[in-house]
Every structure is written in structure tokens, then in C-alpha cells.
Copies of this chain bind each other. A is one copy, B any other.
């Protein structure tokens, strides 16, 4: 899929078919995350792939906006190491965005569940065995879409300033 089409047509998908995600597709999604840029190429990231329903159900219970993690056949937790980068949140976010674009291009649906600094980050870290010095940046849900999703954006002329902020 063309990169502009992928960027333009991707939507958050929160309803999923029960059909599983093939391992080869998952690898392509993870590869997209791997190639995201990071500050000084520090790559302060790990990706935890969760297929087990028990774990997804636990995550769905604690994440206020992530109840669909129960239905999505795959979740990917993006874990960052703040000791390795000056911009670990940005580095984790770039990887998350790459993976969402890749999933969409493969015909999969996904949704970005924000975790960093959220009320449930510590509980999710505990569920996933993430050490105290790491942060859970995001959890991506992944699967075949059971809804089309829709969204809108602010007009470009309201977003763009020339030369100085105004």
C-alpha cells in the first residue's frame, strides 16, 4: 500500500474478528517497529507480543480505554528504557506509529492504547513482568477488523503557521 494512502486511510479499530493473525504478518508489523528512528539511533525499545487470552483479559480489565484488548487476537506492548535515550517517549511512539501503519497496509486493524504516565501503567507493567526502570509506552491491539472505523481531522489551515507560531 502506498504510504500516503496508508497514512490517510488508517483508522483506530476496536472491534475484531476471532480469526488469528498469521505469524508472518506479525513479523512484518514488528519489522516496521524495528526500523523506526530514535534519538541517536539509541533504539531504547522492546516489543512484547501477547497472544495469550488470559493476559489480554487482564490488560483489558485495567486499561480504561483498552477493553477491546480482550477480543484482539494479538497485543504488542512497546516498552522503553529511559536510561538509553534523551527522547524515549518519542522513540517508542515512532515505533508504535510505524507498526500501526504496517498493520493497516497488511489489511489488519489496530488501535494505539496509550500507557505512558497513565493511571494503569504500573499495573500493566506488573502483569507483563516489566522491570521498574522501564516504562510501558503503549499497547497496540491487532487483528482482522470487524468494523470500518471512522475519524476526522482539523483542517490544515488551522494547524499550520508560517515562520512563527500564531
Binding site for B on A (CB under 8 A): 1-4, 6-8, 10, 12, 27-28, 30-37, 39-41, 43, 45-52, 55, 65, 77, 79, 86-87, 89-90, 92-94, 96-98, 100-102, 105, 112, 114, 116-118, 128-131, 134, 137-138, 151-154, 156, 159-166
On chain B, the residues within 8 Å of A89 by CB distance are 89-90, 93, 116
Q: Which of A35, A55, A93, A100 gathers most chain B CB within 10 Å?
A: A93
Question: Which of B7, B51, B93, B98 makes the CB contact (< 8 A) with A35?
Answer: B7
Shortest CB distance A157–B (Å)? 10
Copies in the complex: 2
Shortest CB distance A76–B (Å)? 9
Shortest CB distance A162–B (Å)? 6
Q: Which of A28, A34, A129, A131 gathers most chain B CB within 10 Å?
A: A34
Question: Which of B3, B32, B77 makes the CB contact (< 8 A) with A102?
Answer: B3
Shortest CB distance A112–B (Å)? 6
Contact A90 B49 (CB under 8 A): no
Shortest CB distance A100–B (Å)? 7
Contact A34 B156 (CB under 8 A): yes
Q: Measured between alpha carbons, how far is A56 from B129 in the docked complex, in Å?
A: 45
Contact B86 A90 (CB under 8 A): no
Question: Which of B86, B105, B156 makes the CB contact (< 8 A) with A118?
Answer: B86
Contact A47 B161 (CB under 8 A): yes
